[in-house]
Chains A and B, each alone.
Chain A
């Protein structure tokens, strides 16, 4: 299970990469492995204001359709159009070419609600045991 060191994580298995005032978001390797083959992704519209913990995108896999929750609040600046024609990128490369969107962060302090890599690793392990 890949959990890169330079990212932050949520309980709902989204990742965030902080890049100055902006944040790149996506879903984790753990999330994609649970979902199975991703078949369709509904990305947020550019310019949309998204709110932390509220749904901001939908991922459909052969098993189910699932909401993706915004890990941070902010305005959507850019989305990964490649995912429209190649949803499998989320399975193949969840942290690189499978990114979802770039947002302009509205509130830096929201970062405090995210998990560090070690914390996220422990969180997955404890949820696995259940």
Chain B
């Protein structure tokens, strides 16, 4: 497919300027004129429409195909949430309105959504309070670690490092480091859990926090989680819950009840808002009672008369972390999703997510080595180590799946699993879809034995064949140049 720049023809236009009926002003001084041509594509309107319509038809999404990208929870986004987000009462509100004198009364609906959402998330996770301001999961993490730092500072306790397991998401150590802490990595034991001996050795009075996901990145629920939390608390450290895997435990167990002090959620994972792609996200942060005072301003409060207002009088607050009140439309979509599903619906979503993952694991484990052969939560991790003996890597299997109409699972993550293939089907996929996917995975495993080179060539059905990822990373060429 040609680039739009390559379709450009000198003088071709998609618009007509009206004839000018005023005398021409003086020419722009030379210093304001560009020296190099802008090189914008010169195309007709039809050229543009066709170009982008064709491009969009190549888009791959949950709306078009199965997308079992492990660790990312690519769940389907029900369309009713979109309808609610564009309701004029919400969409046309000016974000400054509640900050103007008397303006709050004109934005009661939106303020109530924010207030009620914070209560719902607190209820779901067992935390005391929430802020919905952070603009993405990683932003939520940083906010959470800043809250931890503010808490320790307020107690005048000297804390230096944060403990993170080696299976963690890369954002965990990044958030800890950006907030000014050293990172101490603890390895995983042979069963796929935090190595308790190494953990105890790493833990001391200088530990500010322990950052964990539970279920962890291997899709396993750590039954020692309470013990881990108690040990952390015994040295004055706080427990941080990375909500990336909350989809597995909704209504089954609450991080706040098992000793977590701070939690961030990715609304796009658990609560079905659209995934980034550069678009707006939301990473609400919940805290236990002792951290409430440090939450960012503004806070939405409910007055005695039942009306809602913004409150800025929080002298221990870490301050502003986002303009206005977060990505409101995203929060609104997640809010609608929670209300639509209700308690029983959320629990059922988790149950089905876990069931789907275990079904995939059960049918695939004779063909791919499971990273840890036990009941998993919402995702399962396999290894292509058997296939590697035939010279077939996880990457080759991923590419083969593309040919068969599936988005590949996550590969080479978590880093501690050799040739990792991480499958997260989510709750919305039917058994029929899972079966077709599993059959193709089995087909790939058999091909690896009989005809490995077929896998090395994949994908063959795409507009572009196998990309040279090394060359792309070493010599990135990201824009068209004349």
Residue numbers of A with Cβ under 8 A of B are: 37, 39-40, 60, 62-66, 87-88, 130
Q: How far is the CA of A119 from the CA of B473 in the complex (A)?
A: 35
A-B contact pairs, 5 of them (CB 8 A): A39-B470, A39-B473, A63-B412, A87-B474, A130-B190
5 smallest CB-CB distances across A and B, nearest first, come from A39-B473, A37-B470, A63-B412, A62-B469, A39-B474
Residue numbers of B with Cβ under 8 A of A are: 170, 190, 412-413, 415, 469-470, 473-474
Dominant secondary structure of chain B at its interface with chain A = loop
Residues of chain A contacted by B415 (CB below 8 angstroms): 63-64, 66
Q: How far is the CA of A63 from the CA of B419 in the complex (A)?
A: 10
| B473 with A62: CB separation less than 8 A | yes
Q: How far is the CA of A82 from the CA of B412 in the complex (A)?
A: 28
Known: A40-B473, A87-B474. 11 other contacts (CB 8 A): A37-B469, A37-B473, A39-B470, A40-B474, A62-B469, A62-B470, A62-B473, A64-B412, A64-B413, A64-B415, A130-B190
Residues of chain B contacted by A130 (CB below 8 angstroms): 190
Q: How far is the CA of A40 from the CA of B474 in the complex (A)?
A: 7
Residues of chain B contacted by A65 (CB below 8 angstroms): 170
| A88 with B170: CB separation less than 8 A | no
Query: Given known contacts A62-B469, A65-B170, A130-B190, is B474 in contact with A88 (CB within 8 Å)?
Result: yes
Residues of chain A contacted by B170 (CB below 8 angstroms): 65
A124 smallest CB distance to B (angstroms):
13
Residue of B at shortest CB range from A55? B183
Residue of A at shortest CB range from B469? A62
Dominant secondary structure of chain A at its interface with chain B = loop
Q: How far is the CA of A88 from the CA of B170 in the complex (A)?
A: 24
B269 smallest CB distance to A (angstroms):
22
Q: How far is the CA of A70 from the CA of B170 in the complex (A)?
A: 21
Residue of B at shortest CB range from A62? B469
Q: How far is the CA of A66 from the CA of B469 in the complex (A)?
A: 18
Q: How far is the CA of A63 from the CA of B170 in the complex (A)?
A: 13
Q: How far is the CA of A118 from the CA of B78 in the complex (A)?
A: 59
Residues of chain A contacted by B412 (CB below 8 angstroms): 63-64
B371 smallest CB distance to A (angstroms):
12
A18 smallest CB distance to B (angstroms):
28
A60 smallest CB distance to B (angstroms):
8
Residue of A at shortest CB range from B185? A67
Residues of chain A contacted by B190 (CB below 8 angstroms): 130
Residues of chain B contacted by A40 (CB below 8 angstroms): 473-474
Q: How far is the CA of A91 from the CA of B388 in the complex (A)?
A: 19
Residues of chain A contacted by B413 (CB below 8 angstroms): 64
B419 smallest CB distance to A (angstroms):
10
B170 smallest CB distance to A (angstroms):
7
Residue of B at shortest CB range from A85? B474
Q: How far is the CA of A37 from the CA of B415 in the complex (A)?
A: 15
Residues of chain B contacted by A87 (CB below 8 angstroms): 474
Interface centre among B412, B415, B474 (most CB of A within 10 A): B474
B178 smallest CB distance to A (angstroms):
15
Q: How far is the CA of A65 from the CA of B474 in the complex (A)?
A: 14
Residue of A at shortest CB range from B394? A63
Residues of chain B contacted by A62 (CB below 8 angstroms): 469-470, 473
Residue of A at shortest CB range from B173? A67
Residue of B at shortest CB range from A67? B185
Q: How far is the CA of A60 from the CA of B474 in the complex (A)?
A: 10
Interface centre among B413, B415, B470 (most CB of A within 10 A): B470
Q: How far is the CA of A110 from the CA of B472 in the complex (A)?
A: 40
Residues of chain B contacted by A63 (CB below 8 angstroms): 412, 415
A30 smallest CB distance to B (angstroms):
13
B49 smallest CB distance to A (angstroms):
37
Residue of B at shortest CB range from A34? B418
Q: How far is the CA of A66 from the CA of B170 in the complex (A)?
A: 10
Residue of B at shortest CB range from A64? B415
A61 smallest CB distance to B (angstroms):
8
A35 smallest CB distance to B (angstroms):
10
Residue of A at shortest CB range from B411? A63
Q: How far is the CA of A95 from the CA of B463 in the complex (A)?
A: 41
B394 smallest CB distance to A (angstroms):
9
Q: How far is the CA of A37 from the CA of B468 in the complex (A)?
A: 11
Q: How far is the CA of A130 from the CA of B413 in the complex (A)?
A: 18
Residues of chain A contacted by B469 (CB below 8 angstroms): 37, 62
Q: How far is the CA of A60 from the CA of B473 in the complex (A)?
A: 9
Interface centre among B170, B412, B415, B473 (most CB of A within 10 A): B473
Interface centre among A60, A64, A130 (most CB of B within 10 A): A64
B188 smallest CB distance to A (angstroms):
11
Interface centre among A39, A40, A60, A66 (most CB of B within 10 A): A39
Residues of chain A contacted by B473 (CB below 8 angstroms): 37, 39-40, 60, 62
Residue of B at shortest CB range from A88? B474
B234 smallest CB distance to A (angstroms):
26
Residue of B at shortest CB range from A87? B474
Residues of chain B contacted by A66 (CB below 8 angstroms): 415
B198 smallest CB distance to A (angstroms):
13
A6 smallest CB distance to B (angstroms):
30
Q: How far is the CA of A78 from the CA of B73 in the complex (A)?
A: 45
Q: How far is the CA of A37 from the CA of B471 in the complex (A)?
A: 9
B448 smallest CB distance to A (angstroms):
19
